[in-house]
């Protein structure tokens, strides 16, 4: 058990409160186990308690996580839901053994981070057993010292590191990414607020504390950049690295991550500047040298693609200019289908082909698309007009002859 642990000095004066309330800070120790045998063994509560008194070399009972002097804010989600719910009803100084369903512990499993325990990781959908001891309670209403606030920020950063290392799922991270970024953001917000308060407080000299706070804040921004780089969100990674560089321009880790994020989005000028600064600080750094080689390779490939694209664009522009250019006057040119053809600039085969296309475009008697009907209609109208004209002429001639006969009879 953890009952022999000393209480953190920043938690003194809180012994009057028997249970933690929402937003209170709790100082706890806990370790986590899972049973690698049949789950039916854990059905009875007595069996769970008796497992702690068995041979510590029993490989069926695996410890995969252990924390001491752990500062958590009740209701902030710093620990799994099942463990936080148990702590909520835990009295000061009490120790409890809690069996938690995998849904409220680590549903996707996690890596084993206990040194010397073994390499057996927690499988997914595996129930977990917590042993937790509530050492002290610090009410949210109590004054919080600068050192305590720095401890809280460091604890949040440590929680983010744990999720980043042990619970990152797949290339995009899953819940491990979400929880790690949440912890990092909480830590950075607390640290930024702490720096502002230290700068505004002129009652004492807090230069050393301020330096420690800024150093943790730089690490926090670097970790945020690393999480976004792992998630391939290069814009956010670059922004986080830039914030770290603003606080510490000589931080090689921040310069390298800013360069990596910048070159991933094609901002090679920015990445080159960051790498030059990093090389100037640590020219023998192997990671910096590898990143420089990768940068030069990407720049060379980008220039090659850019050259090919520019050549294609120029060829397309020249082709469009030749089509739209007006034809110059030439004695060897003629109009074919409304286009000016220069016999001196095209070969004979193309000209013959265009003449054939012109002939094919004219309607003929063999045209099945309407040419035959057009020609026969014209012939029919012409014949009809001729017959009508002949009949009219015959009628006029007949009337004139009749009048001549009547005149001769009257004489």
Tens-place pLDDT, residues 155-177: 999 999 999 999 998 888 888 99
Does 302 score more than 80 pLDDT?
yes
Q: Which long-range contacts (CB under 8 A, 24 or more apart) does 252-257 make?
A: 252/278, 252/281, 252/282, 252/285, 252/288, 253/222, 254/218, 254/221, 254/222, 254/225, 255/281, 256/287, 256/288, 256/291, 257/222, 257/225, 257/226, 257/229
pLDDT more than 90, % of the chain: 42
Residue 388, pLDDT score? 80
For residue range 245-269, what is the model confidence (pLDDT) as tens digits? Answer: 999 999 999 999 999 999 999 899 9
Residue 153: pLDDT band (50, 70, 90) is very high
Mean pLDDT of 12-24: 70
Residue 368, pLDDT score? 46
Mean pLDDT of 87-99: 88
pTM: 0.71
For residue range 208-232, what is the model confidence (pLDDT) as tens digits? Answer: 999 999 999 999 999 999 999 999 9
Structural contact between residues 33 and 77, judged by C-beta atoms closer than 8 angstroms: no
Spell out the residues 6+ positions from residue 7 whose beta carbon is closer than 8 angstroms to its own. 27, 135, 136
Residue 42, pLDDT score? 56
d(CA 108, CA 125) in angstroms, rounded, equals 6
Query: What integer best gives the mean pLDDT of the chain?
Result: 78
Structural contact between residues 238 and 261, judged by C-beta atoms closer than 8 angstroms: yes
Q: How far apart are the first and last CA of the chain?
A: 163
Where b means 16+ CB within 10 Å and e means fewer, 120-155 reads ebbeeebbbbbbbbbbbbbeeebeeebebbbbbbbb
The lowest-confidence range among 29-43, 241-255, 314-328 is: 314-328
Whole-number Cα distances in Å, 133 to 32, 98, 198, 301: 12, 11, 34, 58
The token pair that represents 7 in the structure block: 């209480």
Does 115 score more than 80 pLDDT?
no
Does 361 score more than 70 pLDDT?
no
Residue 359, pLDDT score? 45
Residue 305, pLDDT score? 86
Mean pLDDT of 61-74: 90
Residue 324, pLDDT score? 54
Does 79 score more than 80 pLDDT?
yes
Most confident range (mean pLDDT) of 118-127, 212-221, 323-332 is: 212-221
């Amino acid at each position: 058990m953890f009952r022999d642990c000393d209480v953190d000095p920043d938690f003194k004066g809180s012994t009057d409160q028997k249970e933690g309330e929402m937003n209170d800070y709790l100082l706890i120790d806990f370790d986590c186990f899972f049973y690698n045998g049949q789950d039916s063994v854990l059905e009875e509560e007595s069996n769970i308690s008796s497992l702690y008194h068995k041979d510590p070399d029993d490989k069926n009972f695996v410890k995969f996580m252990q924390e001491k002097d752990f500062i958590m804010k009740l209701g902030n989600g710093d620990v799994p839901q099942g463990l936080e719910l148990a702590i909520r009803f835990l009295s000061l100084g009490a120790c409890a053994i809690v069996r938690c369903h995998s849904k409220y512990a680590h549903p996707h499993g996690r890596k084993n981070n206990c040194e010397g325990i073994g390499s057996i990781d927690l499988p997914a959908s595996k129930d977990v057993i917590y042993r937790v001891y509530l050492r002290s309670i610090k009410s949210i209403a109590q004054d919080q010292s600068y050192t305590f606030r720095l401890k809280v920020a460091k604890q949040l950063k440590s929680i983010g590191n744990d999720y980043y290392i042990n619970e990152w799922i797949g290339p995009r991270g899953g819940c491990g990414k979400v929880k790690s970024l949440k912890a990092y953001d909480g830590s950075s917000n607390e640290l930024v607020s702490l720096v502002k308060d230290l700068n505004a407080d002129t009652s004492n000299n807090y230069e050393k504390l301020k330096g420690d706070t800024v150093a943790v804040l730089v690490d926090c921004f670097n970790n945020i950049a690393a999480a976004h780089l792992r998630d391939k969100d290069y814009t956010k990674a670059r922004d986080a690295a830039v914030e770290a560089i603003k606080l510490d321009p000589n931080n090689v880790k921040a310069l390298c991550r800013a360069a990596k994020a910048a070159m991933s989005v094609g901002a090679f000028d920015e990445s080159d500047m960051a790498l030059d600064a990093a090389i100037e600080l640590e020219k023998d750094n192997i990671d910096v040298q590898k990143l420089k080689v990768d940068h030069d390779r990407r720049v060379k490939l980008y220039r090659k693609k850019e050259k090919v694209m520019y050549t294609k664009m120029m060829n397309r522009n020249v082709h469009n200019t030749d089509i739209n250019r007006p034809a110059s006057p030439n004695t060897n040119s003629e109009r074919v289908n409304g286009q000016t053809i220069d016999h001196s600039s095209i070969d004979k085969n193309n000209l013959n082909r265009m003449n054939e296309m012109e002939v094919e475009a004219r309607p003929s008697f063999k045209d099945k698309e309407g040419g035959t009907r057009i020609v026969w209609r014209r012939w029919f109208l012409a014949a009809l007009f001729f017959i009508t004209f002949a009949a009219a002429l015959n009628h006029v001639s007949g009337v004139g002859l009749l009048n001549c006969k009547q005149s001769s009879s009257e004489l």
